[in-house]
Amino acid sequence: MMSAANQEFGDDFIRKLDMFNDFYDATPNLQINCNSNGDQLLLEGQLRIHWGILYPILFKEKDEEAPVTTASYQRHSCGPVTTPDSEFVLNFDNADAKLWNGLSGKDEGKSQFGSVVLRNNRRRKRTRKRLSIINGHTYSTETSLFKPDRGSVTGVMVTSQQTTQEVIQVLLNKFKVENYPMEFCLCVVRNNGEMYALKDQAHPLLERVLLGPLEDEVKIFIMEKHWIVDINEEVAQFINLPEAVLFGFLDKYKKDEESEKEIIQEKYRIYREKLEERLELLSPSS
Strand partners, 177: 59
**Residue 44: left if φ>0, alpha if ψ -120 to 50, beta else—which one?**
beta
Q: What is the mean pLDDT of residues 45-69?
A: 74
111 vs 232, higher pLDDT: 232
Amino acid at 19: M
Residue 106's alpha-carbon distances to 109, 110, 114, in angstroms, are: 5, 8, 14
Residue 177 is given by DSSP the state B
Q: How many CB atoms lie within 10 A of CB 4?
A: 13
Q: What is the mean pLDDT of residues 43-52?
A: 95
Residue 198 is given by DSSP the state P
222 vs 101, higher pLDDT: 222
- CA 56, 82, 87: angle at the middle one, nearest 5? 125
DSSP 219-275: EEEEEEGGG---B-HHHHTTTTS-HHHHHHHHHHHHHHHHHHHHHHHHHHHHHHHHH
Residue 43 has what pLDDT? 94
User: Which residues lie closer than 8 Å to 80 by C-beta, 6 or more apart?
Assistant: 128, 129, 131, 132, 141
230 vs 78, higher pLDDT: 230
222: confidence class by pLDDT, cuts 50, 70, 90: very high
Cα–Cα distance for residue pair 57/147, rounded to 1 Å: 6
Note the pLDDT tens digit of each residue in 68-86. Answer: 444 443 444 444 444 433 3
Residue 103 has what pLDDT? 41
Mean pLDDT of the chain: 76
Cα–Cα distance for residue pair 138/76, rounded to 1 Å: 10
Q: What is the mean pLDDT of residues 133-143?
A: 62
Cα–Cα distance for residue pair 160/29, rounded to 1 Å: 16
Percent of the chain with pLDDT over 90: 41
Residue 141 has what pLDDT? 65
161 vs 238, higher pLDDT: 161
Overall pTM surpassing 0.75 (yes/no): no
243 vs 142, higher pLDDT: 243
Q: What is the mean pLDDT of residues 243-263?
A: 92
Percent of the chain with pLDDT over 70: 66
Cα–Cα distance for residue pair 237/195, rounded to 1 Å: 12
67 vs 20, higher pLDDT: 20
8 A C-beta contact, residue 170 and residue 184: no
Residue 104 has what pLDDT? 41
Whether the predicted pLDDT of 261 surpasses 70 = yes
8 A C-beta contact, residue 255 and residue 261: no
Note the pLDDT tens digit of each residue in 178-197. Answer: 889 999 999 999 988 899 99
In 3-state terms, what secondary structure has residue 144? coil
Residue 190 has what pLDDT? 92
Residue 7 has what pLDDT? 54
Cα–Cα distance for residue pair 193/236, rounded to 1 Å: 5
